[in-house]
Amino acid sequence: MENDFVDQVAISRSISHVPPAQFLLKIEAFSSLVENDVENYESLEFDAGGYKKLVVYPNGNKKKNVKDHISLYLAMVDTSSLGLGWEVYVIFRLFVLDQNKDEFLILQDAMGKERRFHVLKLEWGFDQFIPLEEFNDASNGYLVGDTCVFGAELSVKERNKCKGECLSMTKLTSASNYKHVWKIENFSKLEAKLYESEEDTTLSQRSGSSISYISMYLQLADSSTITHGSKIYVHFTLRIRDQVLSKHHEKKSSNWFTTSDKAWGRTKFVELSYFNKAENGFLVNDVCIVEAEAKRYESEVFVAGDQKWYIYFLNCCSSTDVRDHISMYLELADLSTITRGFKIYVHFTLRIRNQVQSIHNDCTTSDWFRTSIDNWGWHKFMELSYLNKAGNGFLVNDVCIVEAKVSVLGISDAL
């Protein structure tokens, strides 16, 4: 038997002894979420007319200026199978268990109102699901022994499709370092046309405004492996080696590669007259050496919280959004030990040590690691100019020391 009433914000609250039909979320040591400043917790995915998950804000949704309440939402996930312009209409109820009475407090939109989920609105729920004072009072039964249980029950009414556009971004893991060297012989006999290396670098000679240039690009060799709409973000260096004094001529860049934009580089990479001067060392015995390099530097693997980790950083000095900075991240080293749905909540600090004054440069955060998101860090960890300045003590005798402090605060897995 359920007793319903409608409050002033058109939310229906009811009591039932029947548990939710689709999903239960049990949280142990709930208070530690607040103590460790966990902004929100996302549950495992569950299938109910498409994949959904619960999202709990233990101290209120700060993005909506919620105070003194728990916020609870239902969210859509894995919408790729729904096609472009998808819409899903859902009637849902969210639950919290009163462990003293073995009954559930249920919140839903009054009069069974449908909510429309779509690409711009993946989440619906209740900003003020329950007051924290009421929730934390053990006599109410919602939080007993620092343990609570939430739930969700829903029905999907209909799905619609309309015209639209979907941006799909694929996160890739690559080798720590890759360099491709292209040795071009009999350079003086080349005609003014496009030349390609065995794999991925293109070079041409061009003229304009009475000045001739060598143009150079990095190009995807096999775009058939890239699906329509997918993108690959690449930090790379193109270089012509100085074979005499090692004062190489190089350009760095960071760009999105797609099926339509398969090549990036410089139309005016180097003036042909400058390139041909013997004293510059670019052309020796009619041979030039071209390199394409993408670098990612990785630390040795270390263990923290029974998981293997490593630090990696990128020298992203020409990216438009992280210009002249080092990017640094913490990454799970062995995903084979992580099952689907398993998540690890980690508090960590990445640091570059000041070897002179012990005034270190560090950044600290807390995040969930999982198979789909196996690294977290900072795009703009440190300015290169600040790192390289001798008086700052970060680079001594061409050596820098990088540290990671990692604390595993919690794990989540299927019941």
Domain presence at residue 195: yes
Domain presence at residue 213: yes
C-alpha 184/C-alpha 286 separation (Å) is: 8
Domain presence at residue 24: yes
For residue 180 the two structure tokens come to 């491709």
Domain presence at residue 239: yes
174 phi and psi angles, rounded to 5 deg: -125, 175
Domain presence at residue 105: yes
* End position of a domain, from candidates 114, 130, 161: 161
188 and 318 share one domain: no
202 and 212 share one domain: yes
- Asked whether the beta carbons of 249 and 285 are under 8 A apart, the reply is no
- Among residues 211, 300, 201, 208, the alpha carbon closest in space to that of 251 is found at 201
Which residues make beta-bridge pairs with 229? none
Per-residue pLDDT at 139: 95
Domain presence at residue 121: yes
Per-residue pLDDT at 78: 75
Give the pairing of strands 249-257 and 297-298: unpaired
For residue 299 the two structure tokens come to 């630390």
> Can you tell me which residue has the tokens 């293109």?
202
Which residue range forms the structural domain that includes residue 73? 5-161
Q: Write down the number of H helices and E strands in the chain.
A: 4, 28
Which residues make beta-bridge pairs with 126? 72
For residue 38 the two structure tokens come to 């966990």
77 and 49 share one domain: yes
Per-residue pLDDT at 136: 95
| Start-to-end C-alpha separation, the chain | 29
Domain presence at residue 74: yes
Into how many domains does the chain fold? 3
DSSP letters of 250-293?
EEEEEEEE-SS--EEEEEEEEEHHHHH-GGG-S-BTTBEEEEEE
Half-sphere exposure of 44 (CA within 13 A, CB side): 18
246 and 344 share one domain: no
* End position of a domain, from candidates 295, 314, 339: 295
Question: By three-state DSSP, how is residue 32 classified?
Answer: helix
59 and 151 share one domain: yes
C-alpha 343/C-alpha 365 separation (Å) is: 16
Question: By three-state DSSP, how is residue 346 classified?
Answer: strand
207 and 145 share one domain: no
C-alpha 121/C-alpha 71 separation (Å) is: 17
222: domain CATH number is 2.60.210.10
209 and 124 share one domain: no
Question: By three-state DSSP, how is residue 72 classified?
Answer: strand
The number of residues in the chain equals 415
* End position of a domain, from candidates 250, 272, 295: 295
Helix or strand run (H / E) with residue 351:
strand 343-352
Half-sphere exposure of 291 (CA within 13 A, CB side): 17
282 and 308 share one domain: no
389 and 280 share one domain: no
Which residues make beta-bridge pairs with 399? 396
Question: By three-state DSSP, how is residue 225 classified?
Answer: helix
Where helices occur in 85-219 by DSSP H, the ranges are 132-136
For residue 71 the two structure tokens come to 């916020």
315 and 246 share one domain: no
10 Å CB burial of residue 295 (0-12, 13-18, 19+) is middle
- Asked whether the beta carbons of 202 and 263 are under 8 A apart, the reply is yes
* DSSP assigned state of 399: B
DSSP letters of 171-205?
-----SEEEEEEEE-SGGG--SSEEE-SSSEEEEE
Q: What is the pLDDT along the chain (415 residues), one digit of tens a residue?
A: 344 333 344 888 999 999 998 899 999 889 888 887 888 888 888 887 777 889 999 999 999 999 999 999 999 887 766 666 678 888 899 999 999 999 999 999 887 788 888 878 889 999 999 999 999 999 999 999 999 999 999 888 755 544 444 333 334 344 334 556 676 677 667 665 555 665 555 555 554 444 588 888 888 777 665 555 555 667 788 889 999 888 899 888 777 677 777 888 888 888 988 998 999 999 999 888 988 876 566 788 888 888 888 888 776 544 445 557 888 899 888 877 777 778 888 899 999 888 888 788 999 998 888 877 888 899 889 888 888 888 888 888 888 888 889 988 888 876 6
97 and 67 share one domain: yes
Domain presence at residue 169: no
Q: How far is CA 31 from CA 35, 146, 192, 322, in A?
A: 6, 6, 70, 37
Question: By three-state DSSP, how is residue 82 classified?
Answer: helix
302 and 374 share one domain: yes
